[in-house]
Chains A and B, each alone.
Chain A
Amino acid sequence: MLTRIASGFRYLGQGMRLMVGMPEYSTYVAHMHETHPGQPVMSYEEFFRERQQARYGGNGKVTRCC
């Protein structure tokens, strides 16, 4: 039960971060280790900046609605 509540909260946090365009950092790190071992991995701070620029610096992407 407790673990289910804990995972519920984890998803809630994930969901709220994704609402403002920030995916999970741990997923990114795991992905880099699994698929591209040996390649440089961005630190959390770099990751944060990269994602922020990608969401708002846009290339004509519409990320929100009326």
Chain B
Amino acid sequence: MNTLVSKLGWFAFVATGTFAFAVVALNRGEPVGALWIVVATVCVFTIGYRFYSKFIASKILQLDPTRMTPAYKHNDGLDYVPTNRYVLFGHHFAAIAGAGPLVGPILAAQMGYLPSMLWLLAGVVLAGAVQDFIVLFISTRRDGRSLGDLIKSEMGQMPGMIALFGTFFIMLVLLAVLALIVVKALAESPWGTFTVAATIPIALFMGVYARYIRPGSIGEVSLIGFVLLMLSIVGGQYVQEIPSLAALFTLTGEQLTWLLIGYGFIASVMPVWLLLAPRDYLSTFLKIGTVVSLAIGVLIISPELKMPALTQFVDGSGPVWSGSLFPFLFITVACGAISGFHSLISSGTTPKMIRNERDARFIGYGAMLMESFVAIMALVAASTIEPGVYFAMNSPAAIIGTTAESAAHAISQWGFYVTPEMITQTARDVGEHTVISRTGGAPTLAVGMAQILSEVLGGQAMMAFWYHFAILFEALFILTAVDAGTRAGRFMLQDLLGSFIPFMKRTDSIAANLIATSVCVAGWGYFLYQGVVDPLGGINTLWPLFGISNQMLAGIALILCSCVLFKMKQDRFAWVTILPAAWVLVCTLTAAWQKIFDANPRIGFLAHANKYKEAVAEGTVLAPAKSIGQMQQVIFNDYINASLAALFMLVLISMLAFGIRTILRARALGNPSAREAPFELLPLESVSRT
């Protein structure tokens, strides 16, 4: 009887999901409510979690609830602590959620909401969550070791080094693209710039407070900081209205770039308690709070989707970024579907705190579904904006010009209804001078969020507040990531260089630290500057490079997972990681190849370089260059970008070769050869407790 009820229940669930899908996908011309997307998403995720992740957990990985976990084995009350599964879920989710899942779907919305939605749902259930879950499992069975270590022990020393090397470059591209998003959001916006600048003194005050005045009072200091942040948003409006102050905080993209580079350097050599830690408190809590309130807002008002299900830009001629649906949609959507970066988190602090192996499914697979849900929310927010306004905000000035009239004219010709008044009215609503060519995704998300949140709370009058709240929330965690990422990059670099120059390995040496920090900052600063001056908006170059590098890491992690499955003698189930690995590899390699060799200068770096070379030969100067010298610089940048894409391809192909070698060796052996920590029984009282 019970099984019958359960079967009927699941049947009803599948039927609901299918119906929601039909509404979303087949309804042409009539507006679709966002609620249908949410219903379809929840159904797909529940079914995926209940059936697919259970299949992986019990049939393939054979999670053993009696097996020792690192948290008990190495329990020290600090790094290794057996932790409640819900508490750990929160920790893990907070660590994997960032700007990626928010920005990716917004940029991808230029092809309509349907392709992104389908890839988000299919990608996360079959690839992204599988990767996070299995890497977490692998690390938990191996004393909570890191991805680099796992690759070294399961695949060999050389692949481990290659993976570390690749990770360092991902870090640089990631930091550059994140910083670019901030620059694009704050350029020429005194309100936004003031609010974000105010976070620095607020964080410094919080740092001193939590160290000397009331040591260790995280909750209290975060509350104080939050109140001060809200005041700074209100204050920003006054700054904007007073001309002398407004002039002080009205900065061009280039000025902001230099400020950010300087900030990145100083912040990453300061003591951590002073700036980094307190701002991390703020950004983490704000991130969770905002994501939850956005989800509640979407559920309450179920906004109408104004973006069509598909636009004509699936052919690759889109203004936001160029390249056709395959492979570039899969590169652009990024973290919400699959993110290689998560493999670093899943082999970081989480496996050291897992109380019981069985929890790996809920935490690894479940938290990634949640992240994908955040991405769906971002997609909804972008799709509720009038498409004409969306394109006005996200197309580079080189295509639509700099005035509302020129933008409306250009966008109307693509077949989207928009008037100059609609564009200026949007800017007025959110309290900005202009919204034209505010590329990078963050301002678009902020407009979408402001529309949704102001409908729930505060009405039209609060829209400007919510807009700047959303900008602040994104800038805050991006700045934290820039700071923390530069530190992490510095250590990676010292580790890598240390193999050749022993002096660089000394992390206690101030000179070695400063050198490594400078190299890191110069690395991401170079790409950032190049992106800011790019007439096509920078995102067009950097976001695909970021997507390619992130998916390259996902490919590496999935290759590792496949190797481990073969070593566990689970050959017949290895398709669970081989299929997503193959798909990620095909997308990444095709995208990288096209970024290098495509004949269209908007896509291919070499074609772009040739275009500038020909112009130099004819003695003409093309924007953004103002002299022949700058033309040479553009050509040089193209070669750097092309080499980077080629490097990513090389890393991936060599990892594939090492993976195949490992698998062939494992198959030749008659017995399992995975290098797990030896089996031990979990202490009895902890088994009964879970």
A11 adjacent to chain B (CB < 8 Å): yes
- Chain B residues positioned under 8 Å from A61 (CB to CB): 348-349, 488, 491
1/0 per residue, CB under 8 A from A, across B169-194: the answer is 00000100010000000000000000
Q: Is the CB of B218 within 8 A of A20?
A: yes
Tell me, in angstroms, the Cα distance from A45 to B216 when the chains sit together.
6
Residues B218 and A17 in contact, CB atoms below 8 Å apart: yes
With A19-B94, A56-B484, A63-B484 already in contact, the answer to whether A11 and B349 are too (CB < 8 A) is no
The docked-state distance in angstroms from the alpha carbon of A13 to that of B216 is 14
- The interface-forming segment of B32-40, B45-53, B75-83, B565-573 is B75-83
Expressed in whole angstroms, the Cα–Cα distance for A35 and B273 within the complex equals: 30
CA–CA, A27 and B84, complex, Å: 12
Interfacial residues of chain B within 84-101, with CB under 8 A of chain A in the complex? 84, 86-91, 94-100
Segment among B339-347, B582-590, B601-609, B641-649 that sits at the interface with chain A: B339-347
Given contacts A19-B284, A31-B76, A52-B272, contact A62 B99 (CB under 8 A): no
Question: Is A28 on the interface with B (CB-CB < 8 A)?
Answer: yes
- Tell me, rounded to whole Å, the shortest Cβ–Cβ distance linking B111 to chain A: 22
A18 contacts B88, C-beta separation under 8 Å: yes
Given the complex, which residues of A lie within 8 Å of B507, measured CB to CB? 59
Scoring B residues 273 to 297 as 1 if CB is less than 8 Å from chain A, else 0, what string do you get? 1001100110011001000000000
Give the distance to chain B from A14, nearest Cβ to Cβ, in Å. 5
Docked Cα-Cα span, A49 to B90, in Å, equals 22
Given contacts A19-B284, A58-B487, contact A63 B348 (CB under 8 A): yes
Q: In the assembled complex, how far is the CB of residue B524 from the closest CB belonging to chain A, in whole angstroms? A: 13
Q: Is the interface of B mostly helix, strand, loop or mixed?
A: helix
On chain B, the residues within 8 Å of A52 by CB distance are: 272-273, 277
Q: Give the contacting residue for A62; candidates B76, B87, B97, B341; CB below 8 A.
A: B341
B81 near A60 with CB under 8 A, answer no
**What's the Cα separation between A49 and B87 when bound, in Å?**
22
Least Cβ–Cβ distance between B128 and chain A, in angstroms: 12
CB neighbours (8 Å) of A63 from chain B are 95, 345, 348-349, 484
User: In this complex, what residue of A is CB-closest to B103?
Assistant: A66
B57 sits at the interface (CB 8 A) = no
Q: Please determine whether B488 and A60 come into contact, CB atoms closer than 8 angstroms.
A: yes
Question: From residue B264, how far is it (CB to closest CB) to chain A in Å?
Answer: 15
Contact call A20/B281, Cβ cutoff below 8 A: yes
In the complex, what distance in Å separates the CA atom of A54 from the CA atom of B492? 16
Contact partner of B284 (CB less than 8 A), chosen from A11, A20, A27, A49, is A20
Residue B619, interface by CB 8 Å: no
Pick the residue among A30, A60, A64 that contacts B492 (CB under 8 A).
Answer: A60
A54 and B216 contact, CB distance less than 8 A: no
Residue on A with the closest CB to B273?
A: A52
**How many interface residues does chain A have, given as a range?**
35 or more
Is A14 a contact of B87 with CB atoms below 8 Å? yes
Q: Are B81 and A24 in contact (CB under 8 A)?
A: yes
Given contacts A18-B90, A19-B284, contact A65 B81 (CB under 8 A): no
A4 to chain B, nearest CB (A): 13
* Docked CA distance A65–B341 (Å): 6
Residues of chain B lying within 8 A (CB to CB) of residue A20: 218, 277, 280-281, 284
Q: Does A40 contact B (CB under 8 A)?
A: no
Given contacts A58-B491, A59-B507, contact A64 B95 (CB under 8 A): yes
Docked pose: A35 CA to B81 CA in angstroms: 13
The answer to whether the Cβ of B219 comes within 8 Å of any Cβ in the partner chain is yes
- Report whether B90 and A66 are in contact in the complex, using a CB–CB cutoff of 8 Å: no
Which residues from 1 to 49 on chain A have a C-beta closer than 8 Å to any C-beta of chain B? Answer: 11, 13-24, 27-32, 35, 44-45, 47-49
The distance in angstroms between the C-alpha atoms of A17 and B218, with both chains bound, is 7
Q: How far is the CB of B275 from chain A (nearest CB, A)?
A: 10
In-complex Cβ contact of B491 among A16, A21, A31, A60 (8 A): A60
Contacts of A44 in B (CB 8 A): 215-216
Q: How far is the CB of B188 from chain A (nearest CB, A)?
A: 26
Is B100 a contact partner of A18 (Cβ separation < 8 A)?
no
B84 touches A64 (CB 8 A): no
A53 to B276 alpha-carbon distance, docked (Å): 11
Q: Which residue of chain B has its CB nearest to the CB of A31?
A: B77
Distance of A27 Cα from B75 Cα, bound (Å):
10
Residues of A within 8 A of B334 (CB): 66
Complex: A62 Cα to B277 Cα, angstroms: 14
Q: Does B335 touch A at the CB level, under 8 Å?
A: yes
* B100 & A53 in contact (Cβ 8 Å cutoff): no
Task: Assess A23 versus B341: contact at CB under 8 Å? Given A61-B348, A63-B349.
Answer: no
User: What residues of A have a CB within 8 angstroms of the CB of B481 in the complex?
Assistant: 64, 66
Q: Does B530 contact A (CB under 8 A)?
A: no
By a CB distance below 8 angstroms, the chain B residues around A55 are 272, 277
Q: Please, which residue of chain A has its CB at the minimum distance from the CB of B167?
A: A62
Which residues does chain B contribute within 8 Å of A65, judged by CB atoms? 95-98, 100, 335, 339, 341-342, 344-345
Residues of A close to B488: CB separation below 8 A: 58, 60-62
By a CB distance below 8 angstroms, the chain B residues around A16 are 90, 219, 285
A–B pairs, 7, beta carbons within 8 Å = A17-B219, A20-B284, A45-B215, A52-B272, A55-B277, A64-B98, A66-B481
A35-B75, A58-B488, A65-B98 given. 13 additional CB < 8 A pairs?
A19-B288, A27-B81, A28-B77, A28-B78, A30-B77, A31-B77, A47-B216, A48-B210, A55-B272, A56-B272, A59-B491, A63-B348, A65-B96
